[in-house]
Structure 1
Amino acid sequence: MHHPFPAHARRVSNGLRVSLMVVFAVALSACGGGGDGAGGQQGQQGQQQQPPMPVDVHTVIPHSVDIMSEYPGRVRGRRTVEVRARVEGILEKRFYNEGEIVNEGDMLFTIDPRPFQAVVNQRKAELSSAKASLNQAQRNWGRVRRLYDVDAVSEAERDDSLSQLETARASVQQAEANLDAAQIDLGYTKVKAPLTGVTSLRDVDEGALVSNGTQLTTITQLDPVQVLFALPEDDAIARNKAMAAMGAQSTSERTREATIILPNGDEFPAKGVVDFTQSTINPETGTVQLRAVVENTNNGLMPGRYVRARIRLDTRHNAVVVPNVAVSDGEQQTQVFIVGDDGKAKAVKVKLGPSVEEGRLVESGLSGGEQVIVSGLGQLKPGAAVKVKSDQGNESAGGKNEAGADGNNAQQEPVGESASAESQPSDKAVAGVEGRALRLSPREPLQQIDKPRSHTRTRPTYRTDDAYAANVGRGS
């Protein structure tokens, strides 16, 4: 078939298509060249030549450390007294407001005292009568004794007079005791606070008849208070061993000190003192009961409140402690990374002990003096070259060097983007695409070619060719 366009025009179109195919073939070969051959070797050499990773370290220095632990507990008043009536009668008046703090000796209630006052008066009269009888018996005894000395009366009369005197003395003592009992009952009509504390709701209203033993209210002492908590069996044994080793079970204030932790996590200002440790283990719970006494001047600890008690279980000397961030899980082992003598990261298997304030206690694996790595553990592998950061400034400098060593792409790409933003589409767009395609990394195969600006730059070249091909199509 005869083509309407001349032969040289067809040769230009075919040559342009061949050039574009060569460009894409070079780009695809650059993307896949990292697997084998020279490209793979260059990638391995680049990986081996990576600079050391900057890391932060913690130098292990053996020292004495306290092993502390926290246990849940409840606050209760040191003394809780149930105020009860001691006599029977009508409750006349209440002198306090429910829920307020009363001082020891303050008047709480009064019970109708009139019946008891009458009994007291009666007992006083009986005492007076007994004393009068005693005086009469003493006078009779005086006369009979003088008559007996002159043989004026018999011995039987003398003995009767002496018995009357002794009986009169016993009657006086009995009357005095009855008066004391009546006065005690009269005193019970005034109910006073037995201790300083906070009162509960009233149990009996005014005007009610109360009897001996009727509960009127409850008073709870708020200063000091007690905190009851329990230790597991193993912790209790460890604590007893530590106290025995120190040889100061009753004099070591640090051993018996307790820090009270409030529900919001704050520490209570006053420290507690453990004043009681149960000598037996509860077979049902497997715990040992402890009690701490805490000064509660501002009434910050209310009885019944949930708190935590922190106490010292033991003190380790020459202990090795590492920060918590340094501990990681390796291949079926707990490990830390240290900086070896060759400047490379080395994984060391460790056996961890209890938690302490500075981190975790290391039972075995470290002896002291090691530089434990505490940063970048997610990217760190055994044998990797590391560089210890001397200060924050070096850390920033190292980050810049590391970014610069990643390749020329990070430095050249912003320049290329700036240039493309300022430049206008031209006939040299195809050459620009070839240069960027040759700089592609294996992980981003056609990222630069797929950008909209690449199509924009090459569109003028393709527009002429497409128009030419369209004309050819219409001609055919």
Structure 2
Amino acid sequence: MLAKTVSILKWCALFIIAAQLSACGEAPAPQAPMLPSVIVNTATTKEIQSKSVIVGRTRASEDVTIKSQIQGQLLKRAFIEGDDVKAGDLLFEIDPANYISKLAQQKAVLKQALASRDVAVMNWKRGRKLLPDGMISAQDMDELTSRKLTTAAGVVQAEAAVQGAELQLSYTQVYAPISGRISNAKVSIGDIITPNSEMANLVQLQPMWVNFKVAEKKLISAQQQFSQAAKRKVEISDIVISLRLPNGTMFNETGYIDFINNKVDAATGTLPIRASFKNEAKLMLPGLFVTLIIESPIKEQALLIPQAAVQEDQQGRFVMVLNEQDEVEKRIVKLGERFGINWRVLSGLEDGERIVVDGLQKIRPGIKVKAVEQELVPFQDSQSAPANNDVN
């Protein structure tokens, strides 16, 4: 019985081995290799307006340091520090007593000079009548004429002294030369003020200027662009300038360029330029760092590609292009400025060509890929500004 059982087990083992050998002899069906999947975008020509983003600094259109022109004790401060004042408003009053006294003295001197002149004129007239009859000599007449001229000059001198004294007296009251915002007072009531003592600072906030600088490379490009614009009757005043405040919000006014310097700074290779904003709400103050967004008035056609498609190696910037057979080609491209998330293509690519924007790490030139068209989602740039930056 045991022998029969062993025999059955042997036959089972032989059957299993035979089945395995039969299975090993059958070759599996060949499978096609999986093509790497990439996302592609089509290079498209669009209408653009060049923009530049430049950092600038605000400056008051008028910045006046209020100084004393005389010496005396400060009696009064007539403004609230940090308040807006109008041109002609009284700011300070200096003790006028000494200057009133000097004016009175000069007026008395003037009266004496007038009296001397009147007497000299009368004597001169009398001499003219006596001279033809020989009752006075020519020498005496010359002396009378000299006296008349000298006393007349004395009157002019005395009048000038009176005017000077009146001017000094007027300096005891200090008025605002312009409308603007006044600083804190640099002097206190009771102080002895001396000539050229700084008393306060006054800045004009309307309009507000923004100073910035353009690099010489950008300057040449802008000049070439405007030389073409001149044929289209485009003026520099047509340039629209928006402004981003330090907190990232956009200023609610647009400005314009009102000054361009006449030479490039040799030390920095930049050209100083100034923009002007009305600043009606007086939101901007002098000394702020702000961002200017300068939009060209010229519209032109440009070939744009996504920034994600651009790579760079020792040969320069390049993109991966798919031909009609979905095969990958490496293409060296020359790029211009950026517009949001897109690059402007100057050369190396044609309108309508497909470029790889995602899956670049899986491909190389010459291989075939599975292309999936990119689904474009509208891009909202909250800053409303391009990416190309001109740093001062």
TM-score range, shorter chain: 0.7 to 0.9
Written as runs of structure 1 = structure 2, the 5 A alignment for 1:67-466 is: 67-247=50-230, 251-255=235-239, 257-311=240-294, 317-328=300-311, 334-336=317-319, 340-341=323-324, 348-357=331-340, 359-370=342-353, 383-386=368-371, 388=373
Output the CA distance in 2 between the equivalents of 1:369 and 1:154.
114
Which residue identity is paired with 1:61?
T
Which residue identity is paired with 2:275?
A
What is the total number of aligned residue pairs between the two structures? 371
In the TM superposition, residue 188 of structure 1 has moved relative to its aligned partner by: 0.4
Report SS of the residue matched to 2:219: helix
In the TM superposition, residue 124 of structure 1 has moved relative to its aligned partner by: 1.9
Output the CA distance in 1 between the equivalents of 2:46 and 2:169.
72
Output the CA distance in 1 between the equivalents of 2:108 and 2:359.
98
Please give the per-residue CA displacement for 1:24-78, whole angstroms capped at 9, x wherever unaligned: x9xxx99xxxxx9524x1354xx47x9xx79674451254x33322222222222
Unaligned runs of 5+ residues in structure 2 are 378-392
Which residue identity is paired with 2:120?
A
In the TM superposition, residue 218 of structure 1 has moved relative to its aligned partner by: 1.1
- 1:275, 1:292 within 8 Å by CA — same for their partners in 2? yes
Q: Describe the shift of the 1:334–1:110 C-alpha distance in structure 2 as closer, same or farther (beyond 3 A).
A: same
Q: Describe the shift of the 1:82–1:376 C-alpha distance in structure 2 as closer, same or farther (beyond 3 A).
A: same
Aligned with 2:31 (options 6, 19, 42) = 42
Q: Describe the shift of the 1:43–1:356 C-alpha distance in structure 2 as closer, same or farther (beyond 3 A).
A: closer
- 1:353, 1:360 within 8 Å by CA — same for their partners in 2? yes
Output the CA distance in 1 between the equivalents of 2:348 and 2:297.
21
Output the CA distance in 1 between the equivalents of 2:225 and 2:145.
74
Output the CA distance in 2 between the equivalents of 1:333 and 1:298.
49
Output the CA distance in 2 between the equivalents of 1:250 and 1:109.
50
In the TM superposition, residue 343 of structure 1 has moved relative to its aligned partner by: 6.7
Q: CA RMSD in A?
A: 4.1
Report SS of the residue matched to 2:276: strand
- 1:68, 1:314 within 8 Å by CA — same for their partners in 2? no
Task: Name the stretch that deviates more: 77-86 or 218-227.
Answer: 218-227
Report SS of the residue matched to 2:243: strand
In the TM superposition, residue 187 of structure 1 has moved relative to its aligned partner by: 0.5
- 2:238, 2:297 within 8 Å by CA — same for their partners in 1? no
| Higher alpha-carbon Rg | 1
Output the CA distance in 2 between the equivalents of 1:355 and 1:140.
92
In the superposition, the TM-score normalised over structure 2's length comes to: 0.78
Which residue identity is paired with 1:42?
Q
Report SS of the residue matched to 1:320: strand
Identity across aligned pairs (percent)? 27
In the TM superposition, residue 373 of structure 1 has moved relative to its aligned partner by: 6.0
Unaligned runs of 5+ residues in structure 1 are 31-35, 393-476
Q: Is 1:60 the equivalent of 2:44? A: yes
Report SS of the residue matched to 2:31: helix
Whose RCO is larger (CA < 8 A, sep 6+)?
2
Q: Describe the shift of the 1:265–1:344 C-alpha distance in structure 2 as closer, same or farther (beyond 3 A).
A: farther
Report SS of the residue matched to 1:205: coil
Which residue identity is paired with 2:204?
Q
Output the CA distance in 2 between the equivalents of 1:269 and 1:182.
51
Output the CA distance in 2 between the equivalents of 1:149 and 1:243.
83
Q: Which has the higher strand share?
A: 2
